[in-house]
């Protein structure tokens, strides 16, 4: 029993699939890394919910 030889188009498809797969893995790694950095940043987190927040308003100069 002999195995058939692989056609040239299958090798090209494998190369493209490998490239797309590696690109996808790299994209996922970048998004994951950015997410980890953003979550571990211990700064104040404020969402945009259409509410005026006094702490975000610029301070008035010149006293009271």
Locate all alpha helices (DSSP H) within the chain, ordered by sequence.
8-40
Q: Give pTM, 2 decimals.
A: 0.55
Q: What is the pLDDT of residues 4-42, one digit of tens each?
A: 777 888 888 998 999 999 999 999 999 999 989 888 876
* Residues 40, 45, 38: CA angle, nearest 5 degrees: 30
CA–CA separation, 31 and 24 (whole Å): 11
């Amino acid at each position: 029993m002999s195995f058939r030889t692989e056609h040239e188009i299958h090798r090209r498809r494998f190369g493209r699939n490998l490239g797309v797969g590696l690109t996808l893995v790299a994209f996922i790694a970048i998004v994951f890394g950015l997410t980890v950095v953003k979550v571990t940043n211990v700064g104040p987190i404020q969402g945009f919910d259409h509410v005026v927040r006094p702490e975000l308003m610029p301070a008035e100069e010149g006293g009271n």
